[in-house]
Amino acid sequence: MRSVTTVADLRRTLEPSRRGGDRIGLVPTMGALHAGHLSLIARARASCDVVVVSLFVNPTQFNDGADLAAYPRSIDRDAELARGAGADILFAPTVAEVYPAGFRTTVSLSGLTEVLEGAQRGRGHFDGVSTVVTKLLNMVGPDVAFFGQKDAQQALVVAALVRDLNIPTTIETCPTVREADGLALSSRNVHLSPTDRERALALQRALHVADELISAGEHRPEIVLDAARAVLGRAGLEPEYLVLTRPDDLVPVTRIDGPVLALVAARVGQTRLIDNRLITPAPRPNRQVTAPC
């Protein structure tokens, strides 16, 4: 695996592959790699000739300086893990390389970004994500880029910006990786105390209860959400949001008649966690039609 820190070096390194028509895959990360990231790298390895992993803790997507300062950083460990998972190139630019003096462009999407994470973390969050992802796609020029379903809203935003800006990259969204007990992997999990680690399981339990009710035929979102909220409450958690939306545009549903995306965010101790689940109601049994005499 080759490590590069500048865009010029990255492009020089990729040039022979690009000229040879190789399929280039990008896995964008902010480091602190865990099995979720490694599954994206493995997926890229399985379908691409060249795998680039970017590692950049993007300051513009943090609304809270303390959150940025506390974000776990472990570049040597990350490099080892990326190499082990099959990366060919580790691109780890500095902040000055990504945002040189005089930088003045923001990529901002309307719709999709104002709700949920956008509402909780501030409008600047998705502006920061959209701008840095656009830059990374332009820097690397991948055929395909891999994102995790755990950040469901981010995956929708990235897919929309690629479509809107005609960026010739396919966005592949890969399943959330979970611990054996169901906790969604997150770089933030390292901050959980043993007690909070236990309470954090309530997020996926709440999604599971929602799934069970919907699968049993419940059509009323408020009934499903009340039951899911009760699960969080028993763990002493107050959700920042807990919603059932249409999967493609995050509009809350008023009746459950098709697939819905259940999304939850909650602070567990000092640690903010998110999770989601795509829930598809069981098909309705065919109505018996009696033939007229």
Q: Quote the tokens at residue 26.
A: 């990008």
Decide whether 38 or 214 has the Cβ nearer to ligand PAF.
Answer: 38
Does position 129 bind ligand PAF by CB under 6 A?
A: yes
Active site residue 37: yes
Shortest distance in whole angstroms from residue 187 CB to ligand PAF = 8
Q: In which element (H, E) is residue 271 found?
A: strand 271-279
Distance set, CA 167 to CA 23, 54, 91, 183 (Å): 16, 18, 20, 34
Select from 24-32, 162-170, 217-225, 256-264 the region that touches ligand PAF (CB under 6 A): 24-32
Select from 26-34, 75-83, 102-110, 284-292 the region that touches ligand PAF (CB under 6 A): 26-34
Residues 237, 266: Cα–Cα separation, whole Å: 7
Among 25, 28, 118, 142, binds ligand PAF (CB under 6 A): 28
Shortest distance in whole angstroms from residue 186 CB to ligand PAF = 10
Does position 39 bind ligand PAF by CB under 6 A?
A: no
Does position 200 bind ligand PAF by CB under 6 A?
A: no
Select from 75-83, 103-111, 129-137, 239-247 the region that touches ligand PAF (CB under 6 A): 129-137
Among 4, 10, 14, 29, binds ligand PAF (CB under 6 A): 29
Decide whether 135 or 229 has the Cβ nearer to ligand PAF.
Answer: 135
DSSP class per residue in 94-133: -HHHHS-TT-------SSSSSSTHHHHH-THHHHHHHHHH
Q: In which element (H, E) is residue 54 found?
A: strand 50-55
Rg of the chain over Cα atoms, rounded to whole angstroms, equals 21
Q: Which neighbouring-strand residues pair with 265? A: 241, 274
At 32, which amino acid appears?
A
Q: Which positions are catalytic?
A: 37
Applying CB under 6 A, the residues found at the interface with ligand PAF are: 28-30, 58, 61, 129, 132-133, 151, 154
